[in-house]
Chain A
């Protein structure tokens, strides 16, 4: 009887102890995505299920606000101190989130993370590019390159790819024939065109600052230079002679459509455009080449990114970072990037996925490692950039292209806005 009581007590205590331990270790994380789409949410849900299977003590709850208002909603959640542990960040708003103390400093955790050596250099650079510390780890990168419909160009008698901006303009003029509906360039007319235009113009300007694409090393506003004036004239000719008139109103979808239909066989875009065109084009119909070089002999590119961060008020930062590490691991990073076509940050992802072995991605790798490529930044941390890109520059460039204002007026508008 006594033995039975003792056995019962021991078993009871053991169960209680086990329950206490599991209760202590069981952690629930809230993960807020900001690049929501139904298909992508399914990919994330599967990834979370796999993570939970590997980490039975961690449960991840996914919050998926609608894409259009996702960032403002997640920002409101963070501002209100709601329980969020992991957030998806985007390059255009991460500065604001850091400024508002929404994000947790990851320096110590990143330093102790062996897997960081698997990341491409640009990812580490991007991760520490904003603010006084490392606040996020990029998931994927966007770097602009010139996408080319090789099959269309071949039919039009172009086999040599342009290496300089002059060669590019010449080929564009040569292949354009409005009568047959053939144009050359899928111009970005709306939806922050400055991200494309400024990269195209900056290459004509020597000594662009690596901290701010809008300034030269001696502090001159980049548009207010002879190189930029030449670039503006070229760009005007490119629009008026080599693009459909409608292109001044083209956003991403129209650009992709022009490229896929072959109407405009040249397109400057981020690698996620591959994800958009690969469903309609065979891999041998297109490729990407480095952005043609201007008078400076350098191409100044920025690296756009989207990444993951731990919320400053997270009660489980260690577990949250564990989840981030899982998301950045080679295979998961490849799966997530396959969905978009954007460049993975984990070097192993390029081997883990057949998609990233396509020649078109090799071109991006080539461009990024080219000694003529200089990485710089858009002033994303400056609150004025949002208005500049979505309103001021947009109206100025459209007005310039439509002949309503000249280059000097555009320079004046942009220069006065920045006060450089």
Chain B
């Protein structure tokens, strides 16, 4: 018993650290979501119940439905392409070849960059007048006129998703490559003896074996994508005509442009709530499909 208490004392600093730097901001953010908390009037901070949430849901300035749809579009498109391309990359890098480490270094490089920097780089690449992308497409004869990648509300979201896919591929590449390297070769040998081809091996050996990694990486990445407004902010600032505004960019807008911490925190609470629902449903589905196997 004495020994247990001693351990408790030893971990106390770590618990205090976590409480102070993780739980306190979380609690404070949650609290602010229900307060009138604007930098314009810090003398009038008071609880206003669900007013901030209501203001967001029924805002005339920016339709919440549009923001939610944009967020779903941003998440689904980014996630699907990041996963498919990242998985393909991991499969290609699985077998050793000369210079693989150097190649991996280059391929994984985007993951090391910060979101705002990526946003700036891609906004110049997509620049309608001077952008490399238009120039290349023009030179190979695929387009005859410059395309306004970031100025056309119909395609701006796809442009920012392309940048996000480029950024996120290495994450799946790294994680899935590590998982692939743990698949025992004996399994493939047995499968080959049983007469399976490469495609069958992929679906009946590789994917089932690394499924736990796939489930956790997809879940984590989903959360990060929803919480990754930096790139959009650098590229389109949510425009044109709010066509690329997602929940995260609205939260930044509320805090840093409008100085309304209350509504900014309310966006944070909404994001947290939606992600919680998503995580529960996702884990249930993946667990029930495990049971089916």
On chain B, the residues within 8 Å of A95 by CB distance are 40
**A75–B61 Cα gap in the complex (Å)?**
26
B241 contacts A by Cβ under 8 Å: yes
Interface residues of A in 242-259 (CB under 8 A from B): 244-249, 251, 254, 257-258
Known interface pairs A246-B128, A402-B153. Does A395 touch B239 (Cβ–Cβ under 8 Å)?
yes
Report whether B127 and A246 are in contact in the complex, using a CB–CB cutoff of 8 Å: yes
Binds A, one of B11-19, B168-176, B178-186, B254-262: B254-262
Inter-chain contacts of B40 with A (CB < 8 A): 95-96, 99-100, 383, 386
Residues in B whose Cβ lies below 8 Å from that of A244: 128-129, 146
Assess whether A72 is in contact with B259, with CB atoms less than 8 Å apart.
Answer: yes
Complex formed: what's the CA distance from A394 to B244 in Å? 13
Using A391-B62, A391-B253 as known contacts, say yes or no to A96 and B240 having CB atoms under 8 A apart. Answer: no
A257 neighbours in B (Cβ, 8 Å): 130
B95 at the interface (CB under 8 A from A): no
A35 beta carbon closer than 8 Å to chain B:
no
Kindly state whether residue A365 has any CB partner on chain B within 8 Å.
Answer: no
- Please state if B43 and A189 are interface contacts (CB–CB under 8 Å): no
Question: Given the interface contacts A72-B259, A245-B148, A246-B150, does A394 sit within 8 Å of B127 by beta carbon?
Answer: no
Do A72 and B240 have beta carbons less than 8 Å apart? no
The residue that B255 contacts in the complex, of A72, A399, A404, with Cβ under 8 A, is A72
Asked whether, in the complex, the Cβ of B127 is within 8 Å of the Cβ of A93, the reply is: no
Q: Which B residues, 19 to 48, have Cβ-Cβ distances below 8 Å to chain A?
A: 38-43
CB contact between A75 and one of B39, B127, B146, B237 (< 8 Å): that residue: B39
State in angstroms the CA–CA spacing of A245 and B130 once bound together.
12
**Which residues in A have their C-beta under 8 angstroms from that of B206?**
none
Structural contact, A100 and B253, CB atoms closer than 8 A = no
**How many residues belonging to A are interface residues under a CB distance threshold of 8 Å?**
42
Given contacts A248-B151, A383-B38, A390-B257, contact A404 B129 (CB under 8 A): no
A387–B40 Cα distance when bound, in Å, is: 12
Contact A68/B256 with A100-B43, A244-B129, A245-B151 known, Cβ cut-off 8 Å: yes
Q: Which of these, A68, A69, A263, A395, contacts B129 with CB under 8 Å?
A: A263
Q: How many chain-B residues does the 8 Å CB contact rule pick out? A: 33
Say yes or no: is B82 at the interface (Cβ < 8 Å to chain A).
Answer: no
Roughly how many angstroms separate A145 CA and B129 CA in the complex, as a whole number?
A: 25
**Nearest B-chain residue to A391, judged by Cβ:** B61
Partner of B148, one of A246, A251, A261: A246
Q: Which of the listed residues B43, B128, B156 has the most CB atoms from chain A within 10 Å of its own CB?
A: B128
Q: What chain A residues lie within 8 Å of B240 (beta carbons)?
A: 189-190, 248-249, 398, 402
Interface of chain A residues 181 through 196 with chain B (CB within 8 A): 181, 189-191
**From residue B160, how far is it (CB to closest CB) to chain A in Å?**
11
CB neighbours (8 Å) of B152 from chain A are 245, 402
**Contact (A383, B151) CB under 8 Å given A191-B237, A391-B253:** no
Say whether B71 faces chain A, with CB atoms less than 8 Å apart.
no
Q: Is the interface of B mostly helix, strand, loop or mixed?
A: loop
Contact pattern, A 191-210, Cβ under 8 Å of B = 1, otherwise 0: 10000000000000000000
B259 and A247 contacting across the interface, CB-CB below 8 Å: no
B164 close to A (CB within 8 Å): no
Q: Once the chains bind, are A246 and B129 in contact (CB under 8 Å)?
A: yes
Indicate if the CB atoms of B129 and A258 lie closer than 8 Å: yes
Query: Given the complex of chains A and B, what is the CA–CA distance between A246 and B39 in angstroms?
Result: 34
| Nearest chain A CB to B38 CB, angstrom units | 6
Closest beta carbon of chain A to B248's beta carbon, Å: 15
**B241: A residues at CB distance < 8 A:** 395, 398-399, 402, 404
Point out the residues of chain B lying under 8 angstroms from A181, CB to CB: 129
Q: Which residues of chain A are within 8 angstroms of B148 by Cβ–Cβ distance? A: 245-246, 248-249
The chain A residue sitting closest to B150, CB to CB, is: A249
CA distance A157 to B76 in the complex (A): 52
CB contacts (< 8 Å) of B237 on chain A: these are 190-191, 251
For the complex, give the distance between the alpha carbons of A391 and B59 in Å: 12
Across-interface contacts of A390 in B (CB, < 8 A): 253, 257-258
Question: Which applies to chain A's interface (DSSP): helix, strand, loop or mixed?
Answer: helix
**Could you say which residues of chain A place their CB within 8 Å of the CB of B201?**
none
Which of B38, B60, B240, B253 is most buried by chain A, counting CB atoms within 10 A of its CB?
A: B240
Residues of chain A within 8 A (CB-CB) of B257 are 386-387, 390-391
Is B236 part of the binding interface, using a Cβ–Cβ cutoff of 8 Å? yes
Q: CB of A237 within 8 A of chain B?
A: no
CA distance in complex: A101, B40 (Å): 11
Q: Shortest Cβ distance from A278 into chain B, in angstroms?
A: 21
B222: min CB distance to chain A, Å: 26
**Cα distance A181–B131 in the bound complex, in angstroms:** 13
Complex interface bits, B248-276 against A, C-beta within 8 A gives 1, otherwise 0 = 00000101111110000000000000000
Report if B242 contacts A (CB, 8 A): yes
How many Å from the CB of A224 to the closest CB on chain B? 18
Partner among B42, B130, B239, B258 whose Cβ is within 8 Å of the Cβ of A79: B42
Residue of A nearest to B250 (CB): A391
Determine whether the beta carbon of A189 is less than 8 Å from that of B151. Answer: yes
A244 to B129, CA, bound (A): 7
Q: Known interface pairs A72-B256, A263-B129, A402-B153. Does A395 touch B242 (Cβ–Cβ under 8 Å)?
A: yes
> Does B153 contact A99, Cβ atoms closer than 8 Å?
no
Which A residues are in CB contact (< 8 Å) with B128?
A: 244-246
| Set of chain B residues within 8 Å of A394, measured between Cβ atoms | 239
Q: A72-B255, A248-B240, A254-B127 are in contact. List 4 more A-B contacts (CB 8 A).
A: A96-B40, A100-B40, A249-B156, A394-B239
What are 28 A-B interface contacts by the 8 Å CB criterion? A72-B39, A93-B259, A96-B38, A96-B40, A96-B41, A100-B39, A100-B41, A100-B43, A181-B129, A191-B237, A245-B151, A245-B152, A246-B129, A246-B151, A247-B151, A248-B151, A249-B150, A249-B240, A263-B130, A383-B40, A386-B257, A387-B61, A390-B257, A391-B61, A391-B257, A395-B241, A398-B241, A417-B61
Interface residues of B (CB under 8 A from A): 38-43, 60-62, 127-130, 146, 148, 150-153, 156, 236-237, 239-242, 253, 255-260
Q: Which 7 A-B pairs have the closest CB atoms?
A: A246-B128, A390-B257, A383-B40, A386-B258, A96-B40, A245-B148, A249-B151
